[in-house]
Structure 1
Amino acid sequence: MGLPIVVVHFLRRCRLATFLSVLFLPGIVSAREIIVAPSGGDFATIAAGVGAAQAGDTVTVRAGIYNGAVSFGRSGSAAAFITLRGDPGAILDGTGGPGQGITISSRNYIRVTGMTVRNFMGSGTPMGISVDGSSSFIELRNNLIHNIESPNDNAHGIAFYGTAATPMTNIVVEGNEIRNCRLGQSESLVLNGNVTGFTVAKNLVHDNDNIGIDFIGFESTGPAGQDQARNGICVENVVYNISSATNPTYFGDRSADGIYVDGGRDIVIERNKVDNCDIGVEVASEHLGKTTSNITVRNNFISRGYQGNVLMGGYDASRGNAQNVVVVNNTTYQGTGGEIVLQYNCDGITIKNNILDAKAGQPYIFNGGGNNTNVTVGNNVYFGASSTSPGSYPDASARFVNPLLVTPLTDLHLQAGSPAIDAGINLGNDAQGQPLSGVSSIDGTPRVHGSAIDIGADEFGAVAAVGGSNSPPSPNLMAHARPNPFNPLTTIVYTVATEGRVSLRIFDASGRLVRTLADVIRRPGQFTASWDGKTDGGTPSASGAYFLQARFADGTKAQQKVTLAR
């Protein structure tokens, strides 16, 4: 038997005695790298490469356009995932083929990273990446999904359907982009049915004609008693331009959510940026007698929701319930239909420490259904509409003041001197003993800086360590962009300690992607990139503040504010 590749690499870093003891341990898995390439690789199709993969293998797809559906026929193991990894420019294209891109059905320990999946269309339900059955320990990272389309039916960018008696668990969906999809009455990214234990993080979802991110229950997807997406976190996602206005299955109705919990339970939605969606964030149940429960919405920027920025409860009296929902320390801005709307069948709602910057003539908090109970409102900042009334519910500690946002609409952070600074109240802990307001602000900085927590999602003056406030310092460090401020060019020097994919992206202050500077596989070393102040399309960007974000293969990130001064 040949020497396992993984052991060869191990030998370079260990003493010979340690190497020999590892070499003869039972159960050592021989890991291979299988190359898929248009020419000169082990296989010419992704399907063939994945079909040959065993536990521990990595299928590396070289740049090129590949056709045909891909399905994982085997599982990996806890010590040996099967990995499908795309080099920059590796594209799975569905033009003229079946409606499914990548399928993982009741398989475990699978990673898919760095792939572009596009142009899966047609009748049925096209999907970019489909995961179903009891699939667990699934990681989807840093993939680009676009133009998944159904003209008059349903489609998904990424879909998890927990259909088996054994729940899906240990699900990670991180760093993916889903855009320009025509979805019918379905979703860009969905977890539906018997799914428990998930992280949906740092995804960019935009310009789709139905719901951005959805956590669903009670659709008879999973077995009775387990038919709810549950016990998960939705964090640091950016969602914008989500609308069903042009969706032919909606006939002009605008009801697409940026982030939606429809029948899920025990989910935290935090540190997301949601802008220009039909509904910003919604917590509801569409099924009579069924309840969405124990949902926390905190430390988010939510702006320009057409129906409103935060909605709760069934959309009419014959729908389901929203129970035990906490909406705290968010910053909302000018929802067309108001800032927070309680529809029908809400019970046990807490609304505190939020900045609600409303349009003139619109309600801050509106009781639309009239049958909502046990609603607690307190210590919010109200600005833009009434200067005396929060709306449908009293707030004994209301603050009717200008919160002094940096640049309303484009940057919802606090300016120096904002009355929201150190004006929040301690909301205590949740059922798990964690602070109800969370431990990190919208930017990942410590949630309390100064004498007290700030009202809203920002924590003025707080500074995060590289990798986030709750992460150990990363060995991957990004130096300051220089010059900063700049015009016309700034150069970024960054150091990579762990081999893998590195992305450098520029975002505007509202979280929208402006420019991708790099999306490459790097070995350890120091590298440079530059930004000329233009968008990906070559259009000069306006003067102002932008954010340079670097993401590394070990999951850490570094972020720096850069200023373009034209």
Structure 2
Amino acid sequence: MLKQIAICTLVIGLITGGVQAGSYEPLAIQPAEAAVATYYVAPDGNDTESGMLNAPWKTLQHAADQAQPGSTIYVRGGVYRQQLHITRSGNAQLGAITFARYKQEQPILDGTGLAVDGLQGMVRIDNASYITIDGFEIRNYTTTRTGNVPAGISVMGAGGYIRLLNNHIHHIANTASPQGEELSGRDAHGIAIYGTKAPSALHHLTIRGNELDHLVLGSSESIALNGNVTDFEVANNRVHDNDNIGIDVIGFEQTAPDPTYDAVRNGRITGNVVFNITSNRNPSYGRNLPNNSNGAAGIYVDGGRNIVIERNRSYSNDIGIEIASEHKGKSTSAITARSNVVYSNRYTGIGIGGYDPERGMATDCVIMNNTLVGNDTLSNEPGDGAGQLLIQYGTSRNVIENNILSASPTGVLIYNEYASSGNKLDYNLYHTPGGADEAWWTWHGKVYESLAAFQKGSKQEQHAIFKNPMFVNAKLANYRLSAGSPAIDSGLVDTKRIGTLDMAGQPRVSGKAVNRGAYE
């Protein structure tokens, strides 16, 4: 599954310090309010003018070259066949340098015909801090050459307090033609965050309220954080209809020069809606195979550490959420996936661990209070498929509790082919549409056809139940719980792991009780 092909030979690394999994809170990133100037850019402007509202500049680059800390550049509506390269920084005292749309007008950065050189964004931020990009449409930046990587927005090097807000990024593409069975170097990104320095990191990043769709990514990702990146939030974005991974947090790919810093870490992925993400028929994974890959996750952590994935909706992807490591001997660790709704994904709902023995591991992670429904849609054959929860190679000391797992017609609930060490499963609610006679668990390669047999054979799930969770309206993907649901108030109260809010933003703990699944 997974990316399988690395985009570049760039690295980062794993810092062993940081907050405990599940406790990350994004730090305040707003600097002092002390803007020194406001400027304007318009399609009919002139760079020899003053840059004021009645005498706007014509090019974004001219504005970037003039901007000082605290400057706001308002961009009027219209189409700009221009790129923006930002190297100047704002600061904490005077404020960020902000590029924003003017009122309700829509500025469009259109890359039609513009050259791509290496990994390059239509908006490119290099080694800068205190930068805000807000409200742009970015489109049509493409290449037909391998080795060049177009992106809607790229952030490279080191720096901090960068905010990418409310942008619509679409039709970014690498359409290089395959010359054989597979094609490496056919890559593109919607948003690319690459921490390429050490020890200086890219830090305090906010990616919020963006929409990314119709991207042709090859072996890359819609939103990628890779390298020496720390203290981040990816929140409330819509990511859909792309041909590879939706949101990816990456480690161990030689993106920073010092392997000590070889992992993205200390962040939160929250409130995102991710759908129609598939690598099926993506030529980077083999062009001659029907339904060839089905390995693209809506949300994927590959080598990250100390990250919370919560309150996301991930559906109709190849994989809903994946917590893994693609690099042998390396571990993704201290990841918490909680209060997510994951449904109708083709291969599996949540996967954890390396996808084969040549990959890495997933250790000390938490999968808690998620609702997994009707995933594993590639087959209708009873007992066939990867189920709602796929436990792969190299998993140890992971906690899987308080989840609802409602199977697809295959009846497969958990598929675990490999031996594991110290994983703990308990307080999960299981359900199959065909009843208890059509339920399947595979544990350490052995198949069990009843919850009682699974409990006895695995020595897990002392407090599990097999009952209909009584969703409000499963046909309409409303997975809230009806009155009388056996999931209500029957979960384990574990305040260190479950978080403060459920999927709907309601308090997670009600009195002294907690529901199973994503909703209170």
Query: What band does the TM-score fall into relative to the shorter chain?
Result: 0.7 to 0.9
1:424-503 alignment runs, 5 A limit: 424-429=491-496, 436-459=497-520
What is aligned with 1:486?
A: none
TM-score by length of 1: 0.73
Tell me, yes or no, if structure 1 residue 418 matches structure 2 residue 485.
Answer: yes
Match of 1:64, as an amino acid? G
Q: Distance in 2 between matches of 1:39 and 1:259?
A: 41
CA displacement at 1:427 relative to structure 2: 2.2
1:282-321 alignment runs, 5 A limit: 282-321=322-361
Select which of 100, 103, 114 maps to 2:124.
103
Q: Distance in 2 between matches of 1:268 and 1:400?
A: 28
Select which of 89, 96, 102 maps to 2:106.
89
CA displacement at 1:387 relative to structure 2: 2.3
What is aligned with 1:380?
A: 428
* 2:349–2:387 Cα contact (<8 Å) kept: yes
Match of 1:406, as an amino acid? V
Match of 1:304, as an amino acid? S
What is aligned with 1:407?
A: 473
Match of 1:415, as an amino acid? S
CA displacement at 1:360 relative to structure 2: 3.1
Select which of 143, 149, 160 maps to 2:193.
160
Q: Distance in 1 between matches of 2:280 and 2:242?
A: 11
What is aligned with 1:360?
A: 409
* 2:360–2:394 Cα contact (<8 Å) kept: yes
Match of 1:331, as an amino acid? T
CA displacement at 1:98 relative to structure 2: 2.4
Between 1 and 2, higher relative CO (CA 8 Å, sep ≥ 6) is seen in 2
* 2:411–2:440 Cα contact (<8 Å) kept: no
What is aligned with 1:518?
A: none
* 1:45–1:67 Cα contact (<8 Å) kept: no
What is aligned with 2:72?
A: 58
Q: Distance in 1 between matches of 2:159 and 2:474?
A: 43
* 1:361–1:386 Cα contact (<8 Å) kept: no
Greater strand share, structure number: 1
Q: Distance in 2 between matches of 1:185 and 1:58?
A: 36
Unaligned runs of 5+ in 1: 1-26, 430-435, 460-566
Task: Please list the CA deviations of residues 355-409 of structure 1 after superposition, one character each: whole Å capped at 9, or x if unmatched.
Answer: 10101333212212x2321121111111116627672243121211110112215
Q: Percent identity?
A: 42
Task: Please list the CA deviations of residues 429-487 of structure 1 after superposition, one character each: whole Å capped at 9, or x if unmatched.
Answer: 2xxxxxx111000011100225511110001xxxxxxxxxxxxxxxxxxxxxxxxxxxx
SS at match of 1:190: strand
Q: Distance in 2 between matches of 1:455 and 1:148?
A: 40
What is aligned with 2:244?
A: 210
Q: Distance in 2 between matches of 1:451 and 1:111?
A: 42
CA displacement at 1:39 relative to structure 2: 2.3
Q: Distance in 2 between matches of 1:182 and 1:380?
A: 38
Match of 2:217, as an amino acid? L
Task: Please list the CA deviations of residues 488-514 of structure 1 after superposition, one character each: whole Å capped at 9, or x if unmatched.
Answer: xxxxxxxxxxxxxxxxxxxxxxxxxxx
Select which of 227, 230, 233 maps to 2:265.
230
Tell me, yes or no, if structure 1 residue 326 matches structure 2 residue 343.
Answer: no
Q: Distance in 2 between matches of 1:300 and 1:272?
A: 5
Q: Distance in 1 between matches of 2:479 and 2:323?
A: 23
Q: Distance in 2 between matches of 1:361 and 1:279?
A: 16
Q: Distance in 2 between matches of 1:361 and 1:248?
A: 29
SS at match of 1:158: strand
Q: Distance in 2 between matches of 1:120 and 1:73?
A: 21
CA displacement at 1:308 relative to structure 2: 0.4
Q: Over aligned residues, Cα RMSD in angstroms?
A: 1.6
Q: Distance in 2 between matches of 1:95 and 1:174?
A: 26
Select which of 332, 343, 349 maps to 2:392.
343
Q: Distance in 1 between matches of 2:391 and 2:304?
A: 18
Select which of 72, 76, 85 maps to 1:71.
85
Q: Distance in 1 between matches of 2:426 and 2:235?
A: 29
Q: How many residues align?
A: 426
